[in-house]
């Protein structure tokens, strides 16, 4: 629930900015570059919202990749979420955000709940694997863009 609200807030910032000039902001890169220009509060921008959204998506992508690469096919997926969190979000989270993650962490479903029973989930696993390839490519593009324009902000949120 909390993660959903955070993602919705970040998404809303991007959508609101886009709607102010859909022609000028036809590409997300245009929107980010214009938004970053002369903004008095760089921590309340579309650029920052997209950065947090990207980080959350990186957590999701890494979590699912960890699940797919787990050769033991362990039913418990909490360790995969923890590993993804530690890599993608923990460096940017302060005490309160870390405690919120602990609450979220307790609701991780089992492998069977997420992908279906092992004897019948081959289609789900294949579809997820294919999706992650394209998802990672998009995240990589955003990372390269943020690096090129020096937009990565490192602070505890």
- Domain positions in the chain are 1-149
DSSP H or E stretch at residue 114? helix 111-115
pLDDT, tens digit, 9 for 90 and up, residues 5-47: 766 776 777 788 778 888 888 888 888 888 767 666 655 677 8
Whether residue 145 contacts residue 33, with contact meaning beta carbons closer than 8 Å, is answered with no
Of the pLDDT bands very low, low, confident and very high (cuts 50, 70, 90), residue 155 is low
Rounded Cα distance, 39 and 148, in Å: 19
Q: What confidence tier does 156 reach under pLDDT thresholds 50, 70, 90?
A: low
Tell me: pLDDT of 1 over 60: no
- Distance CA(20)–CA(151), nearest Å, equals 22
pTM equals 0.81
CATH of domain 1-149: 1.10.3520.10
* Distance from C-alpha of 24 to C-alpha of 147, rounded to nearest angstrom: 22
State the pLDDT at residue 44. 64
Nearest to 14 by CA among 33, 30, 34, 28: 28
The pLDDT tens digits of the residues spanning 102-149 come to 888 888 999 999 999 988 899 999 999 999 999 999 999 999 998 998
* Predicted local confidence at residue 145, as pLDDT: 92
């Amino acid at each position: 629930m909390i993660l959903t609200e955070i993602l919705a807030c970040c998404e809303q910032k991007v959508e609101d900015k886009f709607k102010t000039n859909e022609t000028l902001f036809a590409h997300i890169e245009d929107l980010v570059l214009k938004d970053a220009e002369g903004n008095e509060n760089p921590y309340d921008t579309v650029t920052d919202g997209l950065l947090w959204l990207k980080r959350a998506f990186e957590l999701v992508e890494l979590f699912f990749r960890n699940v797919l690469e787990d050769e033991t096919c362990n039913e418990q997926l909490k360790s995969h979420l923890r590993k993804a969190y530690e890599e993608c979000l923990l460096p940017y989270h302060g005490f309160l955000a870390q405690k919120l993650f602990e609450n979220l962490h307790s609701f991780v479903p089992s492998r069977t709940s997420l992908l279906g029973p092992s004897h019948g989930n081959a289609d789900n696993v294949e579809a997820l694997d294919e999706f992650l390839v394209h998802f990672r490519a998009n995240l990589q593009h955003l990372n390269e863009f943020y690096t090129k324009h020096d937009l990565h902000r490192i602070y505890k949120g």
